[in-house]
Structure 1
Amino acid sequence: MAIAVNIAWPGITPEVYEAARDRVGWETDVPDGLVLHGSWFDDGGFHAFDIWESEGQFAQFIAGRIEPVIKGELGVQGDPQVTAAPLHRRFVPPGVSGAA
């Protein structure tokens, strides 16, 4: 079952995000199950909204590719606040493609 994931991680700065994006390479080596990723920053730090085909695929990506880079290589302290729920509906307007 597809899930919607909301992530908030105050310890991630734009510089850390870009370093992680380059090292993990999720845009060039797309993880199995990722449908959509959007991210932004505000006074509370980093936020992301993802849609995944399954909770297991999301968990595997975090444990296998994200945590080793963010917590290991980049030394970010603290944990993200993650909420996930079954996706009720997904709508993509006609003519919209997925590239950045």
Structure 2
Amino acid sequence: MAVVMTLVWPEITPELYDAARDRVRWEEEPPNGLVLHTAWFAADGFHVLDIWESEDLFPAFAAARLAPVLKGELGVKNDPQTEFFPLHRRFVVPGVSGGA
């Protein structure tokens, strides 16, 4: 079952996000099961809203590809706050596609 994942990670800065994106290359080599990724910065830090094909696919991606870069190479100390919710409906506006 597809899920919506929300993530809040106050420690992540725009510079860390961009460095991780460049090293992990999730846009060039999408993780198994990722349907949609959105990210933004607010007063309380870094936020993500993703859609995954199933809840177990994000932790697998995080352990195999994200953690070695963020925790290893970039020295991030804290873990994000993540929540998963069953996806009830998804609508993609006709003509919308691609990244960034």
Kindly tell me the number of residue pairs found equivalent between the two proteins: 100
How much has 1:98 moved relative to structure 2?
2.9
The percent of aligned pairs where both chains have the same amino acid is 62
Which sections of structure 2, spanning at least 5 residues, go unmatched? none
Q: In the alignment, which residue of structure 1 is the partner of 2:28?
A: 28
Give, as a single letter, the amino acid of the residue that structure 1 aligns with 2:81.
Answer: Q
Q: Report the Cα distance in structure 2 between the residues aligned to 1:38 and 1:99, rounded to whole angstroms.
A: 10
How much has 1:85 moved relative to structure 2?
1.0
Q: In the alignment, which residue of structure 1 is the partner of 2:50?
A: 50
Compute the RMSD of aligned alpha carbons. 0.8
Q: Report the Cα distance in structure 1 between the residues aligned to 2:99 and 2:79, rounded to whole angstroms.
A: 28
Secondary structure of the residue aligned to 2:56 is: helix
Please list every run of at least 4 consecutive aligned residues from structure 1 whose deviation after the TM superposition is greater than 3 angstroms: none
How much has 1:68 moved relative to structure 2?
1.0
Task: Tell me the alpha carbon deviations over residues 15-71 of structure 1, each in whole angstroms, 9 at most, x when there is no partner.
Answer: 000000000000000111000000000111110000000112111101111111111
Which sections of structure 1, spanning at least 5 residues, go unmatched? none
Q: In the alignment, which residue of structure 2 is the partner of 1:64?
A: 64
Q: Report the Cα distance in structure 2 between the residues aligned to 1:99 and 1:40, rounded to whole angstroms.
A: 14
Q: In the alignment, which residue of structure 2 is the partner of 1:4?
A: 4
TM-score, normalised to structure 1, is 0.96
TM-score, normalised to structure 2, is 0.96
Q: Report the Cα distance in structure 2 between the residues aligned to 1:86 and 1:98, rounded to whole angstroms.
A: 24
Secondary structure of the residue aligned to 2:57 is: helix
Give, as a single letter, the amino acid of the residue that structure 2 aligns with 1:22.
Answer: D
Give, as a single letter, the amino acid of the residue that structure 1 aligns with 2:97.
Answer: S
